[in-house]
Structure 1
Amino acid sequence: MNEYKFRVKFLDDTKEFLDSIDEKSREKIIYNIWKAQSKNNKELFKKLQDEIWEFRTKYNETHYRFLAFWDKTNKHDTIVISTHGIIKKINKTPIKEIDKAERLRQQYFNNKTKDNENI
């Protein structure tokens, strides 16, 4: 049985992106995310800036990126939240995509705080 370093959760934008691509590409991406969960590999999972990271997959000359952030609020269950996916067409991940991931991160934690207050 594999020991994972973290769980991965997909937000709606990530799920929609995965649904929009072909099956073979989707399988390769899921496989690489699974691999990143079990061992440190900067080719598969890399910090971009501040709190934003990216899962990286190259398949059939296409560079897929899934932006993400860490949720370590539960000491027994670390989760990496994937905000959305893109097909990367330039060398650097576009700033607007990093900004979108940061907005979704802030929204996620604001909602989580509100949910905890309502318990």
Structure 2
Amino acid sequence: MAENFKVEFLKEVLEFLDGLDDKARNKILFNIDKAKVKNDKTLFKKLNSDIWEFRTLYNKKQYRLFAFWDKSNKKVTIVVATHGIVKKSQKTPKKDIEKATEIMKEFFNDKK
């Protein structure tokens, strides 16, 4: 199956993933690979106009990787993952959405 987008992990996501046990990390990466080829809101969901989240439920824990789209390259669409959390409540923390938005702004400023 053709991928709809590529995923780029920023440093903080890699550090988050490194801190998880192998099975949780592998499940997150497996779900991201699935989200690349299949449009599924349980795996990849829009939070606001700019920010999305990769969603993984594993071992009764909700893992979230925040992300945004970079369509500046006309050939390849990239989803940039900014940081990850283990979600502790039903509601996605507003501060994490704001953090992802700030990282996105810096990312595009640095690209100019």
Q: Flag structure 1 segments of 5+ consecutive residues without an equivalent.
A: 114-119
Whole-angstrom CA distance in 2 between matches of 1:16 and 1:93: 20
1:1-119 matched pairs, under 5 angstroms: 2-113=1-112
Show the counterpart of 1:117: none
TM-score (norm 2): 0.99
After the TM superposition, which segments of 4 or more aligned residues of structure 1 sit over 3 Å from their partners? none
Q: CA RMSD in A?
A: 0.5
Deviation at 1:5, TM superposition (A): 0.1
Identity of aligned residues (%): 54
Q: Aligned pairs, how many? A: 112
Q: What CA distance in whole angstroms lies between the structure 2 residues aligned with 1:109 and 1:35?
A: 27
**Consecutive unaligned residues in structure 2, runs of 5 or more:** none
Residues 55-76 of structure 1 deviation map (CA, whole Å, 9 limit, x = unaligned): 0000000000000000001111
